[in-house]
Structure 1
Amino acid sequence: MKLRSFRLRIALLSTALAGSALVGFGAVSWFQIYNAQISRLDAQLLNQLIRATRSPKRERWQFYGDSLPYAFGTNTKIPIALLVLDANGNTLYQYNEVSADKDVNRLLVQRLELTPVPPPPKREPPPKPESTNPSALPPPFIRPPQPRFVTQQTATESWRIGAAKFPNVQVAIAVSLQAVNQQMATIHNIFLVSIPGALLLVASGAWLVSGSALRPIGQLTGVIQQVTVKGLDQRIPIGTTDVEFVELIQVFNQMLERLERSFTQASRFSADAAHELKTPLTILQGELERTLQQVKNGSEMQQRLSNLLDEVRRLSGIMRKLLLLSLADAGQMSLYLVEVDMSELLIEMVEDVELLAPHLSVQIDITDRLRVQGDRDLLIQVLQNLLSNAIKYNLANGWIQIHAHRIQTTLHVTIANASIDIPVSHQERIFDRFHRGDRARTRKVEGIGLGLSLAREIARAHRGDLTLDSTSNGQTAFTLTLPITKKGEGGN
């Protein structure tokens, strides 16, 4: 089954949304910064092209070319190229000393060829002359050039080129985009580092925030895990809970309240029924025993009374087990704690097994002086139940193995026997009350299916447990675990 985590999905979705926003913001920001850099460079190119109209004399082009690197706010290491032609296309001045890229001159010529010729200058209508000299006219007004700016690539450089034509001169300037590209590469690297870092922070924050938001669900899970027959009184406080979870918690608390009430009624009924039946069964058993003594030995009446007495004793045993189970369910099973030597108990019971089932091979591995604090009578009942099952459900001429040893502060008692394989469906229900592997519930194997359930409840009342081992084929093994307290410590 594929596992799914709502908290993980919230964190991933938040990270995906934040990542999309950050990547989109980074891309838009990068292009905006790049366009701003290009626009600033174009403005500088336009200023220099306009400045070229103020230096029409041939002898001043050298000074104009040498001042270009400083005019662009760079040093002489940044490639800059300048080409000045006259109106007939003859070269007046060429500046390309820094760059080793000779293809830029070809690009400058191409740009000048593609640049349109400006319209002839228009003369502004003269104002009314204050003097009477008709020849005192103002100089013609020359429109600012309309340059074309393009980015072109050569074999080694990227260039931003601006070109303009004037009536008496043609000027083209190319500036390397090396500095701009370096700045944009730096910004790109900053984004590559900052965006993943920001996404990591977003993912961590979303994980923490979702965990905080789902804390009431965790509280519900914790309470559900504690809901046993002894934990039905658990309730989740609503005082500090978010509004969205209040209704859910209220419904859950109400469900626990109904379960507690129903279980209390059922447990009280079982205990009351066991108590009420205990007295008449005791009386009936006494009357049968007294009547049995009065009838003739070997008669048919004696046989019938003997069968009835066996059934009454069996019914009394059922009532006694039900009473113990009802006390365990209510958490009221009282234990008379004393120091119990489990090694001695097991040795004594092994002797009984050898007498009751001489056809079975009994193998023991019991460590000496395994002492625990417990109720001796109840622990004897647990061991008797396990050994009784090992005898009843054994194979013909089978075997029984008893292992008892200490692991750190825990006593482990394992009782295994040869048997047919238990189906998986029965393994899951083997501790259920009134469950038996024999579906027909015949009398071939005595029992009503309460022994293992009661044995596990007694073990848990001693802060231990009783489990069915996952063993190999052809055997069944149960392991009883009990804590060894300091008073119950013994040598190995």
Structure 2
Amino acid sequence: MRLRSFRLRIALLSAILAGTALVSFGLVAWRLIYAAKVNRLDARLESQVIRATRPRLQGRWGSFIASLPSELGADTDTPIALLVLDQQGRRLYQSDNWTDDFNINLLLPSYSPFFSAVQFNSPGHLSYDPEKFSSSQPNRKLDTSPSADRLPDGTLPDPQVMTQRTATGSWRVAAVDFPPAQAVLAINLQAIDQEMAAIRNIFVLVISGILLLIAGGAWGLSGNALHPIRKLTSAIQQVTVTGLDQRVPIGTGDLEFVELIQVFNQMLERLSRSFKQASRFSADAAHELKTPLAILQGELEHTLQHTEPGSPMQQSLSTLLDEVSRLNSIVRKLLLLSLADAGQISLHKVEVNLSTLLTVIVEDIELSAPHLEVQTHLPADLAVWGDLDLLTQLLQNLISNAIKYNLANGWIRIAGHQQGTNVQITITNASKPIPLPDRKRIFDRFYRGDPARTRKVEGIGLGLSLSREIARAHSGDLTLDPTPPGQTSFTLVLPGRVEASDTITPSKNL
């Protein structure tokens, strides 16, 4: 799944890149350290395995093996094994730690075991006959000087060194064929392995700490880099009908975001200008239509009074008068909506008892829709401060909507209660299910939903939109509630009655 957080992606990417580099460096460094330790050990092994072939050590290999830990730079408890052979492959000395698991053939290709001439005088000690060396090398003198470490041609011997694994662990094994003897010297790598394990653990801790620092630093730097974006987001969230004059200050922002902020501010400027023009046009058009419609309505009413009752002319004039009244209602609603868009709805606030107001409206329901069952659950005093006419229109719109979209022999339930400092009114009615697309657009202007559902219902799709604007003008809100199938419910929330110390227009209680 793709990560949607830009900051998180930056932090993870930085950690992955840095982690790859650090792990690679750690592996290379660990291998180099290991190789350096092994090479240093190899140099000492080669020197000591050559010493082991010197004739002067005959009979003293026990003391020689005891001195090897200090010579090889190892601990005294580090296992060390030594095997000395003559040129015919007969064992001259074998240490206690020696095991036949070592593959000597890989180190001494000419090695051929020959044990018949071996005589054990005591455990761990082999007899040694110097004549056997002299017989194999008749023209070679035994030399104990440092030059004895060289071959007859003056060159140094070339010991063979390799790592072998046995049942007792990993060993570094060195072997040399240096007349008059052959020697194999092995040291257990347990100490080096422990040192390398400690180094590995240190690398893991250090690399983990560095990765956390890098990830945290990348998170902080990306957050700082995204600060202009957060400012832009905050400004966008404030872009409302009354907030189109908001602008994002450029200040000393990063160059990469200056152009973006400038474009956004220019967009707000164009949007504000277009909105003002549209709002002004709507308000002007509605205002200009009021006068001719009022004149037309007056003339129709005057003519209707002088028309013969029951005549076709009277029926036509009555139809025209109804349409003019409908146009008056549309114009009035459009004018209120344009004022709401501009944030200029003028509220004449008085103390309004919503319980009393709803009781009066319920009485009208019983007259206009006697087939509907009306249930009310209202406290005696649900008082708010607001515009009486606008709140009456809001509640009438909701009740009218509940009647229009109700089922045959349906019901309407009106409930109200005080919730903290707010007053909440819920109007629920029986209805057909509202499709999800219609629920999302139910407060849109001139939107009436599925034509099959609304074709027999009068209206123009402005009632709910206007009702919500009136609620918001009173610092409240109107919402469509989630309900079980077969119901529709709207909830109106308005601020409750303010304290007496607040400045309120003198009013009367409804």
TM-score with structure 2 setting the length? 0.81
Structure-1 residue corresponding to 2:321: 309
**1:191 equivalent in alignment to 2:203:** yes
Structure-2 residue corresponding to 1:356: 368
Question: What is the RMSD computed on CA atoms of the aligned residues?
Answer: 3.2
The structural deviation recorded for 1:193 is: 3.7
Structure-2 residue corresponding to 1:256: 268
**How far apart are the structure 1 equivalents of 2:439 and 2:75?**
87
Distance 1:442 1:288, change over 3 A: farther
**Contact conserved, 1:371 with 1:484, CA < 8 A, in 2?**
yes
Q: After superposition, what is the alpha-carbon deviation per residue over 1:422-465, rounded to whole angstroms, capped at 9, x for unaligned?
A: 33333222211122247499995332221111001011112221
Q: 1:206 is matched by which residue type in structure 2?
A: A
Question: Does 227-236 or 69-78 show the bigger shift?
Answer: 227-236
SS at match of 1:103: coil
- Count the aligned residue pairs: 466
The percent of aligned pairs where both chains have the same amino acid is 63
**1:102 equivalent in alignment to 2:106:** no
Within-5 A mapping of 1:440-459: 444-459=456-471
Structure-2 residue corresponding to 1:151: 163
**How far apart are the structure 2 equivalents of 1:110 and 1:269?**
101
Question: Does 370-379 or 456-465 show the bigger shift?
Answer: 370-379
Structure-2 residue corresponding to 1:412: 424
The structural deviation recorded for 1:31 is: 1.2
SS at match of 1:311: helix
Structure-2 residue corresponding to 1:209: 221
Structure-2 residue corresponding to 1:14: 14
Q: After superposition, what is the alpha-carbon deviation per residue over 1:10-50, rounded to whole angstroms, capped at 9, x for unaligned?
A: 33333332232222222212211111110010121133245
SS at match of 2:390: helix
**How far apart are the structure 1 equivalents of 2:16 and 2:351?**
63
Distance 1:440 1:448, change over 3 A: farther
**How far apart are the structure 2 equivalents of 1:483 and 1:37?**
81
**Contact conserved, 2:347 with 2:386, CA < 8 A, in 1?**
yes
**Contact conserved, 1:410 with 1:481, CA < 8 A, in 2?**
yes
Distance 1:202 1:57, change over 3 A: closer
The structural deviation recorded for 1:387 is: 0.7
Q: After superposition, what is the alpha-carbon deviation per residue over 1:210-268, rounded to whole angstroms, capped at 9, x for unaligned?
A: 33333433333333333332222232222243222333332222222211111110001
**How far apart are the structure 2 equivalents of 1:443 and 1:42?**
98
Distance 1:299 1:486, change over 3 A: same
**How far apart are the structure 1 equivalents of 2:358 and 2:179?**
122
Q: 1:111 is matched by which residue type in structure 2?
A: L
**How far apart are the structure 1 equivalents of 2:90 and 2:455?**
125
Query: In the alignment, which of 456, 479, 495 is matched to residue 483 of structure 1?
Result: 495
**How far apart are the structure 2 equivalents of 1:279 and 1:451?**
23
Q: After superposition, what is the alpha-carbon deviation per residue over 1:85-143, rounded to whole angstroms, capped at 9, x for unaligned?
A: 444545444433xx4x6336x5568734558x99x99xxxxxxxxxxxxxxxxx98743
**How far apart are the structure 1 equivalents of 2:105 and 2:303?**
136
**How far apart are the structure 1 equivalents of 2:309 and 2:335?**
36
SS at match of 1:56: helix
Q: Which runs of 5+ in 1 are unaligned?
A: 122-138
The structural deviation recorded for 1:303 is: 4.3
SS at match of 1:152: strand
Q: After superposition, what is the alpha-carbon deviation per residue over 1:301-335, rounded to whole angstroms, capped at 9, x for unaligned?
A: 55444443333332222211111100100111122
Distance 1:84 1:438, change over 3 A: closer
Question: Does 362-371 or 47-56 show the bigger shift?
Answer: 47-56
Structure-1 residue corresponding to 2:233: 221
**How far apart are the structure 2 equivalents of 1:439 and 1:114?**
103
Runs of 4+ with deviation above 6 angstroms = 440-443
Distance 1:363 1:295, change over 3 A: same
**How far apart are the structure 1 equivalents of 2:452 and 2:84?**
114
Q: Which runs of 5+ in 2 are unaligned?
A: 112-135, 141-150, 501-510
Query: In the alignment, which of 273, 277, 283 is matched to residue 265 of structure 1?
Result: 277
Distance 1:171 1:267, change over 3 A: same
Distance 1:340 1:52, change over 3 A: same
